Copies of this chain bind each other. A is one copy, B any other.
Amino acid sequence: MRKLAGDLSLLSINTATLRKQLALPAIIEACAARGIGAVCPWRDQVHAMGLAAVARQIEESGLAVSGYCRGGFFPAADAAGLRAALEDNRKAVDEAKALGAACLVLVVGSLPGALAGRPEHKDIGLARAQVLDGIAATLEYARSVGMPLAVEPLHPMQGAERACINTLEHALDICDALDPGRTGAVGVALDIYHCWWDPKLEGQIARAGRERLLAYHVCDWLVPTRDLLNDRGMMGDGIVELRKVRAWVEAAGYAGAIEVEIFSDHWWSRPAEEVLDACIARYSTVV
């Protein structure tokens, strides 16, 4: 296993972690000042500041971009909606490219309207078919510009609204269908928050291998967890066997960043410096 302590070059901060405290330029500045190696910016945060300005700041800072969050949300209730999603994903690919991101993370979507609390139908099989088609179409373009797509399985508790791909196995089945040659053009973003519970996790990580493991996200699963979205824990505060899972990931050939992504009402209420201190300390000791 790689030695993390004393080497922040492998640490990446997903910028959602500090979205309530700081605007994106200040997050980038704070990460660079700490010697952190990379960031993974969110699209809305980039749009708020302007793509060109963010790209310039990141390049000047020397930070790597471990991923770009996020494309996806492919399902729709009609043809116009499906087309609009594809166009938006094409733009997301271009933005990821402009930022020099290692991959575009895909949160694939699920039942149309569910995220707004008004699902337009219940046919998750249809949503899954639309997701497959959407990734396939986006992949064609992404391949042409050289931007890897990282399908992120989300926790099953987010399966109605955010992603109808909820296991690493399912995500890898899609990768195999679209890229049987394992070219690296499509793979997975593995987030331990979403996948820790899976009895097939070790085997599917090995199956994924170096070509499919495009991103690795860490935080922790708190006991009890009090909210289905915004109660993620800082690494070490929950029950995920972080060291064990990272060993599986690295044994499979993953050599990329360790990205901290924490959606948490608690951590969003703390000063940014305190959050970064905690990320660095836990990255160095328990991840």
Contact = CB atoms under 8 A, between A and B. Distances in A.
Interface in A82-141: 111, 114, 117, 119, 122-124, 128
A224 interface: yes
Interface stretch (A2-10, A16-24, A47-55, A154-162): A154-162
A161 B223 contact: yes
Contact of A239 (B160, B197, B240): B160
Interface string A238-264: 011100000000000000000000000
A204 to B, nearest CB: 13
B166 A197 contact: yes
Contacts of A161: 223-224
A228 interface: yes
B225 A157 contact: yes
Contacts of A199: 128, 164-167, 170
A82 B222 CA distance: 25
A73 interface: no
Contacts of A111: 223, 239
Interface residues of A, number: 32
Max chain B Cβ within 10 angstroms of own Cβ: one of A122, A167, A226: A122
A124 B228 contact: no
Contacts of A119: 223, 239
Contacts of A74: none
A221 interface: yes
Max chain B Cβ within 10 angstroms of own Cβ: one of A157, A223, A224: A223
Interface in A161-202: 161, 164-167, 170, 196-199
A266 to B, nearest CB: 16
B117 A223 contact: yes
Contacts of A165: 199
Q: Which are the 4 A-B pairs with shortest beta-carbon distances?
A: A159-B197, A157-B157, A156-B197, A122-B239
Interface of A: 111, 114, 117, 119, 122-124, 128, 155-157, 159-161, 164-167, 170, 196-199, 221, 223-226, 228, 239-241
